[in-house]
Amino acid sequence: MGQAFLVRTGFWLMDYPTWSRSRPAGGTPAFPWRQHMADDLLEYYRHLLDKHWILRESACVCWIGDATTPSAARHFGIDLVGPSPQTLLEAAEEADGAGEHAPGILVLDDFPDGWALSVEPRGAQGIRPEVMRGLSARGTAFAVRFGPRPEFALYRQGVRVTHVQQQIGRWGAAPHELDELMKGLPCVEGSPEDTWPEAALALGERVTGVRLDIDRLGGELDRYTILRRLPADPVPLALREHPVAREPEFAAILADPAAHRRTIAVLAARQAVTDTGLGGPEVTAALRSLTTMVSRPKAGNGRLDAAALRAGLRTLIPGLDGDRALAVKVLIAALDPDDGVASGEATRLGWRIHSGGQDGEVRWTILRTCARTP
C-alpha cells in the first residue's frame, strides 16, 4: 500500500492511504486508491451538505491559514460586531429574514494547527478579491461559493493563484495549479452543477488538509455582524493578474491598504524618482530616510531628519521643470510624518507624472487607489 497522509479535522487527525501505482505479487493491479478516496470524500461532503442543507443555497465557506477567528473576521469588513455564540442554522434563519441591504452575518470557527473556518450562510464576501487578499496575506485561503453560479478560489500570500467558476472558466496566476488535486472531483468548469458543491468542498480538504466536521458545524460558533463591508476592489479587473500586482510589496499593499500607508508613500517616492531619473545627494538621502521610516517607524531622530530633508528638497524646486519638479514634491510629501497624509499627497502628485511605461502606470494606479482606500 502507498504512503499515508494526514487530514486534520475539527477534533482529530485522520489517516488516509494514498494511491499506489505498484503491482502486488502475481501481477494483479493495485486497487485504485485515488478514485476510491475521491468517492469517499464526495460521499462525506454529500452527507455534510444533506445535514447542513442551508449551505447549498447561497453560502460561502472559506478555509483560512495562519489565522484565528478574530484575526480572520477583521478582513471581512470595516465595522464588525462580535463575537457572540450562534449556530449556523440560527444565523441562516436570521439572514433569511433580513433585507437585501441588511448587515452581513458571518460565523467562524478555529481549527487545529492555525487554521480558521468562515461560513457566510447568505453571503459571498469571503470570495471577493479584496477580502481574499487580506485573508491570505500570511498564508493560504481557499473559498467555495454555492448558489446558481458556484465557484471556488485559492489565494496564497495575497495573490490569486486560481479561480474557477462552474459556468465560465478559470483564471489566476496559475489557473491549472490544482489540476492534480482535482482529479476524481467533478468541480472543473462545465461539471454538473448538482455535484459541484460536494466536489468543491472535497477539493478544499485536499488543498488545506483540513476536514470540515459535520457535528461541529451543527454546534455554536462565533458569530460576527458585518456592519460595513469592504469597498470595491481598488485594482481594476484588467489589472488584477498583472505581474506588478504579484510583486511582494504590492501584494501586501493590496491585501491590507490601511496597514501599509507608509509603504505606499515610500513606493510612490521611488516610482517618481525612477520615472523622472531624478538624482543627487538630497534625493539619495531622502530615499534612505524613507526606508528608515518604514523599518523603524517610531524612531524620533528619523522624523527630525525628515523635516530637515524636506526643507532641503524645497530649495531644488525652482531649478526644475515639469515632471522632475513634481518628483521632488512627491519626495517632500512622502516624508510627511503622518502616514495617511504622506501616502495620499505623494500619490496625488505622482499620479500626474508621465510614467516610463505600462508597468509604471500600473504601479501608480495601484498606489493611488490603495492610498484612497479607507
Q: Name the packing angle between helices 248-255 and 261-276 (round to 10°).
A: 140
Q: Where are the alpha helices (DSSP H) in the chain?
A: 33-51, 54-58, 69-73, 88-97, 129-135, 196-208, 214-217, 248-255, 261-276, 281-295, 300-314, 322-334, 339-350, 358-371
Domain boundaries of the chain, sorted by first residue: 5-229, 237-371
What is the pLDDT at residue 136?
Answer: 94
pTM for this one?
0.65
What is the SS3 assignment for 242? Answer: coil
What is the pLDDT at residue 30?
Answer: 40
* Mean pLDDT, contiguous 10-residue spans, the chain (374 residues): 37 30 33 62 94 90 93 88 91 79 85 89 89 92 92 92 91 92 91 91 95 92 89 69 85 87 94 91 88 63 67 83 89 92 94 82 89 83
Instruction: Encode burial over 252-290: b for 16+ CB neighbours within 10 A, e otherwise.
Output: bbbbbbeebbbbbbbbbbbbbbebbebeeebbebbbebb
β-strand partners of 222 = 85, 108
Residue 322 CB partners (closer than 8 Å, separation 6+): none
What is the pLDDT at residue 274?
Answer: 92
